A and B are shown apart, each in its own frame.
Chain A
């Protein structure tokens, strides 16, 4: 678990640098309330030895914070933590028993309950900057633009999006969406330390790229291109840190690949045809629910048996 926290450090540092003290507040409230809630629930409700020491609540807190805009008020963050730890994790029996990724459940709960706070993205102003520029996320802008009848090309030029920026930062979005490179660094660290296996993440990337390639080639004026889809909307955060959560992902290689393909495909369907601009959280949660089935279907071959 410590390895996952270490892997998240670059992303945390980036988000604080780009968003400033407000992001630090969101992170602090989120982590502190997750840890406190888990401690209180194990101690006073379940009357079991505390599981705070395993750092899983810290990870949930960080991931939740990285999934929220830095402008989120502290009490909204707290409610998210209550849902994540209290409802999505501890009601199922705590670590290892939950069906859905706690941080994502918290995030989605906030998304549908407080859409105003959750979608009022602001462009990053930097740790020491003061020029708060309000704007939509790239995916939100695309959705908005398409509804108004513009073509993709027009939206992209008017928004001034380019891929270098997306990779390095400086786009509107939730904290964790900001720096894809920092997230990928964490992912590589986790793979090198053999904490996670890369196949889930890679199959998500591959599916998103392939699906969007097909649609983009069919109609570039309606559908966004693969690279845009790979770099926006928290896909990197979701694929590297949320989908690879041990508890809520399949165990075997092929189970993981099917899981990743499902997430990638659902994400693209929601992005292209859904009413929400963002689909990664929903896609992961939907695929989380079929993990028990995947675990049952995709078993590794037993030695000496057919």
Chain B
């Protein structure tokens, strides 16, 4: 009996050692030489594998970053500048600072503002809906409200507001990975600079229809009247194809356009004080008068 036990132990031990040797030899033979920095970079990454950088995942990003001569084209939007600083330190590259971005929903076609003209009872996917027709409201550009963006977000930063039927971005959770931008068949969502203390201006509409058509479909639509562009003293607003667009790099956050917009399509968020429209309008009026007088003289 004791003999049997000893034999068993001996055989199992020898087998184990033999197999370990085989494994070791095979591992040596098929070893893939890899830059050890790839592992280091990968460790420094957020590890969400969201694909926001344009690569298939954090590992793929790390491989590309190690191969590239600098970090100009490789940026992890999720980790932001902190992560990139670590990556730059590992690879000995210059740090490429980028302004933090956030996803912005450029549609304000709430249930109230944008009446339904028909009822959609098909498969609840924006993409499928957009293949079938222009949507259940008069606006053929706006949010379809099926929540493809919410499903695409890995960070729980998007949610549907049942009251408005529109997605809402939680700017604390948003990592600007761009998954929602790709998921939206209407291309409503844009990554915009977060702005100082989160303050930013944007036009919450992309309706390219002519003013009356857009207005009829949605009370909050941009009608392309161009008042904002005329008002802006920083050349930050262009009106193209019946819709205004604010260039965030030029915008000085003066909020004059927001005050002047007749439909409320221009939104300013995270400002400490509410906008006093009348005061701003008065200010602009006086400025315009002075300019007129100066031109007359």
Q: Do chains A and B touch in the complex (CB under 8 A)?
A: no
Mark A residues whose CB is within 8 Å of B. none
